Amino acid sequence: MPDDAQQHAPRPVERGVLPLAGVRVLDLSRVLAGPVCCQVLGDLGADVVKVERPVVGDDTRQWGPPFLGGDDPSERGPSAYYLSCNRNKRGIALDLEQPAAREVLDDLIRRADVLVENFLPAALAKFGLEPARLRSLNPRLVSVSISGFGRTGPLADAPGYDLAIQALAGLMAITGEPDGAPMKVGVAISDVLTGLYAAISAISGLHARGRGQAGASFDLALADCTLASLVNVVQSTLLTGRRPRRYGNAHPQIVPYEAFATADGHLVLAVGNDRQWQRFCRAAGRDDLAADSRYATNPLRVENRETLIAELRREFQSRSNAAWLALLAQAEVPHAPVVPIDEGLAAPQTVARGMVQTATDSCGRTFRLLASPIHVNGSGPLPVAAPPALGEHTDEVLRQWLGLTDERIADLRTSGAIA
């Protein structure tokens, strides 16, 4: 972000006044869905403690390049992938293969408000993290379990990977050019959506507990959350029994609502109702389209999609991007240019919302991080703390959460239970 833009960005709100201040979250998850969930809770003020394996940590620490500090192994920090979903957390390293470490984990569970995990069933049993045992350790604990297919059903024991889930849930089948191959979404969207559903679940559990209910347990499946994300496409299939097809950048039920190539770029046109369609036609100088009975209403435009879109494609190529953007803005027709991510990050609206913040890690490296998109009580962006180094806060958390002495912490470290 340019220096002058940084100066005009809003200042983050203080953590102590955030809605989840005082809530303790134990993050036993790895990769993306669970870390996204816990990052949201940390953004909102919770004290999130991320538990990782000694030496290697979360797999995503090595999912690069790029890496913080560059790609030289002697200088590099964690990957951009890890940084993207672990802000506003503290980190400890526990070797859960060791009984002493599992005892420490049990003590942490007793003092936690929320636990988030994404272990396979065999690991849940091995580490004593089954719902019944969690309730025995801490009846008030809100537990959130994330897996590929949920804890019930014939695929309960199967691991879940975002790409496979996108394929199995039908998302890939409706994504891509109409005559092209099935295509995944450009980010691991199944993981991200499941992480958000998991955060909602955790917060609802805290709300229920505040009304006197015992700690709730939640079962989140990547497959379920991805299927739920297909909203109108799934509902159309349920109503008609027909298999949906791919529309590329177009919309199955709204026309024109897609991307168009201009004389020198691309933009999207999003005509959502018939009034906007008439305004578009007048602005483009196409009164003939406005008067054409085939295109008078949205259902008719959907029915006659092919002829209309062919005509609009020719029309859009007659002007530059800048000319179209000015014309559509003046006519108040929904539209947007297609911009690369780096331009989007530097856009005035992004800066005004404080979506990019500066953080400094424990090694003194300063870098830019995305902030939370949540704004509370009209304030600036939520505060951003750098994702933790592996085991960075082990001693601090064991002292604060468990009251362990330095001698006890040293003994655990010597045994290899912590790092």
* Burial label, 235 (beta-carbon count in 10 A; 0-12, 13-18, 19+): exposed
Listed in order, strand segments (DSSP E) in 108-199 are 114-117, 142-147
Alpha helices (H) in 170-230, listed in sequence order: 189-210, 222-228
What does the alpha-carbon distance between residue 68 and residue 77 come to, in Å, rounded to a whole number?
5
Residue type, 265: G
Q: Which residue has the tokens 């804890």?
A: 151
DSSP code string of 35-97: HHHHHHHHHTT-EEEEEE-TTT-SGGGGS-SSBTT-S-TTT--SBHHHHHT--S-EEEEB-TT
DSSP element (H, E) containing 27: strand 24-28
Q: How far apart are CA 295 and CA 298, in angstroms?
A: 7
350, 354, 360, 366 alpha-carbon torsion, rounded to 10°: 40
Residues 53 and 39: beta-carbon distance below 8 Å: no
What's the rounded Cα separation, in Å, for the pair 144 and 26?
10
Instruction: Name the token pair of 229.
Output: 């994300």
The answer to whether residue 191 is catalytic is yes
Q: Which of 43, 47, 95, 191 is catalytic?
A: 191
**How far is residue 268's CA from residue 233's CA, in Å, rounded to a whole number?**
21
* Enzyme catalytic residues: 191
